[in-house]
Amino acid sequence: MDFTLPVLFIGGGTVAIAFYVAWSIGANDVANSMGTSVGSRALSLRKAVIIAGIFEFLGATLIGIHVTKTIQHGIVNPDTSTFLANPNIFVYGMLASLLAAAIWITITTFYSLPISTSQSIVGALIGFGIVATGASAINWGKIIQIGESWFLSPLIGAVLAFIIFYIIKKVIFDTDKPFESMKKSLPFFVFALISVILFSIFKSLEKTDFQIMSILTILQITFIIAFICAVISYFLICRYKISNHKTDAEIYNSIEHVFIYLQIITACFVAFAHGSNDVANAIGPLSAVINILQSGSIESVVGVPLWLIFLGGIGIVAGLATWGYKVIGTIGRKITEITPTRGFSAEFSTAVVVLMCSRFGLPVSTSQVLVGSVIGIGFAKGIVAVDLKIIKKIFVSWIITVPVSAATAAIIFIIISRLG
């Protein structure tokens, strides 16, 4: 394929953009898994970065490697006459879109604002698509569906987190003997948590070469393992002794200490899931670009090269290690006070909402669900426990993400096209 832009820009630029996109996602989205853990002091910032880095990388390389990206039914239809006649335009547009999304993510991370990576990329693709081929090339039905999920998912996350924390409060903290009540109820929380984690992982394997089990088999295996974990947790917690002479504050601290372990498990799961899904989604379009560079034509289905998966995994770890602390601080400390029980409620509700949306094929932003969940547990203490100024800034950043990313991508695409 005879590209008019320098080969160094096309080849080296693609690699550089791939790394930059992954880095920006790592810097912003790491708060999805570790923000509440740091805020509740379940983990130090250093330990959170290390644990998130490990599980993000494992998710990207172990499961993300087998994900095949379908670009035919995306935001911009690649089968339009403009792209088929000149695949260069599609290449330039995808590079411009991803670069624009990464720039916006970097800006919001600088201001410690958690945003949606998917919102940034979707907005950028819309901007490029309209400039390149007109509004007819945009899948507006998909845009409407995505917009609905963006509105509903944080709301559902907030309500569910509120309910989970309310249950913890009623069955544990509001009883005459809260620690004894915690011993009785903990296995049920463990069972629910492990069930969601295992079911999510098994469902994610449907997109890989390893999925050979029926839904009934998945449910049976999930139930057995979750039940075993619940029984083990019961015997472990029964060995945990507490003095009758401790004050109420000391008893509450002991309960919060137990929930630290559940919160860390949930955080590791969210990090693993993010690595296996969001990183692959970010580098998927770039794999399409590489395929066009190699074949000279647009194909509806392309695989993600192994080296690109590793590049994405390394990039996201680099992003969270260098700048991840900024958004972690917002989610973990600035919205509302986080304790291990509240952090567990937020992370657990996030996992459930993302699982439900994925089950029904709805695109969802993990960042938005988690922010909604944190707001929900904040309201469980009353509106005065929530920093409304921070929430306002976050909401504004969500609203302007799509138009800003679209305009940036359009400008970058025009510049690249003229250079070509």
Q: Which pLDDT does position 81 carry in this prediction? A: 65
Average pLDDT estimate for 55-71: 61
Asked if pLDDT for residue 407 goes beyond 80, the answer is yes
Ordered by start, the domain boundaries in the chain are 7-419
Rounded mean pLDDT of the chain? 79
Indicate if the pLDDT at residue 177 is higher than 80: yes
Q: What integer pLDDT is reported at residue 226 of this predicted model?
A: 94
pLDDT band at 405 (very low <50, low <70, confident <90, very high): very high
Q: Is the pLDDT of residue 225 over 60?
A: yes
- At 347-391, the pLDDT tens digits run 888 888 877 776 665 656 777 888 888 888 888 776 666 777 888
pTM recorded for the entire structure: 0.79
Q: Give the model's confidence band at 76: pLDDT under 50 very low, under 70 low, under 90 confident, else very high.
A: confident
Q: What is the pLDDT of residue 194?
A: 92
Residue 213 pLDDT grade (very low, low, confident, very high; cuts 50, 70, 90) = low
Query: pLDDT at residue 212 above 50?
Result: yes
d(CA 27, CA 21): 10
Look at residue 277 in the predicted model and tell me its pLDDT: 63
190: pLDDT strictly greater than 90: yes
Question: Rounded distance, CA 411 to CA 413, Å?
Answer: 5
- pLDDT tens for 238-269 read 887 776 667 878 888 888 888 988 988 888 88
Half-sphere exposure of 135 (CA within 13 A, CB side): 3
> What average pLDDT score do residues 28-43 get?
77
pLDDT digits (tens, 9 = 90+) for 83-141: 667 777 888 888 888 889 899 999 998 888 888 777 888 888 899 889 888 877 787 77
The pLDDT assigned to 71 comes to 39
* C-alpha 296: how far from chain center: 33
pLDDT at 280: 62
- Predicted local confidence at residue 410, as pLDDT: 94
Q: What is the pLDDT of residue 72?
A: 38
| pLDDT tier for residue 316 given thresholds of 50, 70 and 90 | confident
In whole angstroms, give the CA distance from residue 318 to residue 52: 11
What is the tens place of the pLDDT at every residue in 153-175? Answer: 888 889 999 999 999 999 998 89
pLDDT of residue 69: 45
Q: Quick check: 395 pLDDT over 70?
A: yes
The 3-class SS string of the chain reads: CCCCCCHHHHHHHHHHHHHHHHHHHHHHHCHHHHHHHHHCCCCCHHHHHHHHHHHHHHHHHHHHHHCEEECCCCCECCCCHHHHHCHHHHHHHHHHHHHHHHHHHHHHHHCCCCCCHHHHHHHHHHHHHHHHHCHHHECHHHHHHHHHHHHHHHHHHHHHHHHHHHHHHHHHHCCCCHHHHHHHHHHHHHHHHHHHHHHHHHHHHHHCCCCCCCHHHHHHHHHHHHHHHHHHHHHHHHCCCCCCCCCHHHHHHHHHHHHHHHHHHHHHHHHHHHHHHHHHHHHHHHHHHHHHHHHCCCCCEEECCHHHHHHHHHHHHHHHHHHHHHHHHHHHHHCCCCCHHHHHHHHHHHHHHHHHHHHCCCCCCHHHHHHHHHHHHHHCCCHHHCCHHHHHHHHHHHHHHHHHHHHHHHHHHHHHHHHC
**Least confidently predicted of 18-22, 72-76, 241-245, 314-318:** 72-76
Candidate ranges 74-83, 131-140, 228-237, 395-404; pick with highest mean pLDDT: 228-237
